[in-house]
Chains A and B, each alone.
Chain A
Amino acid sequence: MNKFRIGKNWLYVPLIAMAVFYLIPMYVILATGFKSFAEVDLKTMWNLPHGIAFDNYIEAFKHLAPSLKNSFIMVIPAALISSMLGSLNGFVLAKWKFRGADIIFPFILFGMFIPYQSIIIPLVQFMNVIGIKGLAGLAMAHIIYGIPITTLTFRNYYASLPQELLEAAKIDGADMLGVYRHILLPISIPSFVVVLIWQFTSAWNDFLFAVILTGNTDWPITVALNNMAGSQIIAWNVQMAGSLLAALPTLLVYIFLGRYFLRGLLAGSLKG
Chain B
Amino acid sequence: MFKDKDRYLSILLISPSILALLIFVYGFIGWSVRVSLSNWKGLNPDYSWAGLKNYLALFSDPRFHVDVRNTLIFTSVFVVGSILLGFFLAVMLDQGLKGEGFFRSLFLFPMAISYIVTGVVWRWLMNPAEGSRMSGFNLLFTSLHLDFLVNKWHTTPIWGMAAIALAAIWQMSGYTMALYLAGLRSIPHELREAAQIDGANEIQIYRNIILPLLAPVTLSALIILGHMSLKVFDLIIAIAGKQLPLDVPAIYMWQTTFDGLFYARGAAIGILLLISVAVLIIPYIRYTLKTETQQ
Contacts and interface: CB of A to CB of B under 8 A. Distances in A.
A141 B24 CA distance: 9
Range for the number of chain A residues in contact with chain B: 35 or more
A133 B217 CA distance: 41
A57 interface: no
A161 interface: no
A88 B14 contact: yes
Contact of A118 (B32, B45, B125, B289): B32
A247 B17 CA distance: 31
A261 to B, nearest CB: 7
Contacts of A148: 21
B122 to A, nearest CB: 7
A24 B95 contact: no
Interface in A240-272: 240, 242-243, 246-247, 250-251, 253-255, 258, 261-262, 265-266, 268-271
B258 A212 contact: yes
B95 A8 contact: yes
Contacts of B122: 25
Interface residues of B, number: 104
Interface string A205-231: 111100010000000001001100110
Given A85-B16, A115-B274, A144-B20, A123 B120 contact: no
Interface in B18-58: 18, 20-21, 23-29, 31-32, 35, 45
A89 B158 CA distance: 47
B14 A207 contact: no
A239 B273 CA distance: 32
Contact of B114 (A21, A145, A151, A207): A207
A131 to B, nearest CB: 16
Interface of B: 2-3, 5-7, 9-11, 13-14, 16-18, 20-21, 23-29, 31-32, 35, 45, 88-89, 92-93, 95-97, 103, 105-125, 127, 132-136, 139-140, 143, 170, 174-175, 178-179, 182, 220-221, 224, 227, 230-231, 233-234, 237-238, 241, 249-250, 253-254, 257-258, 263, 266-267, 269-271, 273-274, 277-278, 281-282, 284-286, 288-289
Nearest to A246: B117
A8 B119 CA distance: 36
B170 A25 contact: yes
Interface stretch (A48-56, A98-106, A183-191): A98-106
A153 interface: no
